[in-house]
Amino acid sequence: MTAAPPCVFCEIVAGREPASIVCDEDLVMAFMDIAPATEGYVIVIPKAHVPRLDDLDDETGARLFTTVLRIQSVLRAVLRCDGINLLAFDGEAAGQEVPHTHFHVVPRYVGDSVEWLECELLEPRREELDELAASLHRGYVERYPG
């Protein structure tokens, strides 16, 4: 019997996989998507392995969504995007590819080519993701100190 591969998001939380971190708090983490549909695409996760939304406890769920709201606000301020998509794919039938609860916070721009769910993904270099993550992190800390 083959063991299931480790959860990539848990590996990021543990520091065993690279990520361009936007915020890292006690219960949640946000980082740049490695295959973004638009510039500034962020993933927000609970740090604990929680496969489905139903598995979230109230405190973690509240903190997760608060962080999602804060990230979208920072994206609007830092990137001056025209809109935001908030997406959660909960379960395989809904298109969830990583079995760890997460939200996609997707900046939208007038005239972008995103057509859910079929779009051409960007291929940024890690340095570009790190630079953007650092910029968003600064905006996050400025707006939400402590």
Q: Tens digits of per-residue pLDDT, 50-109? A: 999 999 999 999 999 999 999 999 999 999 999 999 999 999 999 899 999 999 999 999
Query: If pLDDT is split at 50, 70 and 90, which confidence band does 5 have?
Result: confident
Say which residues have a Cβ less than 8 Å from residue 47's Cβ, sequence separation at least 6: 13, 26, 27, 28, 29
Class of domain 8-143: alpha beta
Degrees (nearest 5) of the Cα angle 51, 57, 15? 55
Query: What is the residue extent of each domain of the chain?
Result: 8-143
State the pLDDT confidence band at 119, using cuts at 50, 70 and 90. low
Select which of 49, 100, 102, 137 is catalytic: 102
Q: What pLDDT, on a 0 to 100 scale, did the predictor assign at position 4?
A: 67
Checking if the pLDDT of 116 tops 80, the result is: no
d(CA 141, CA 104): 20
Q: How many CB atoms lie within 10 A of CB 67?
A: 25
- Asked about 100 being catalytic, the answer comes back as no
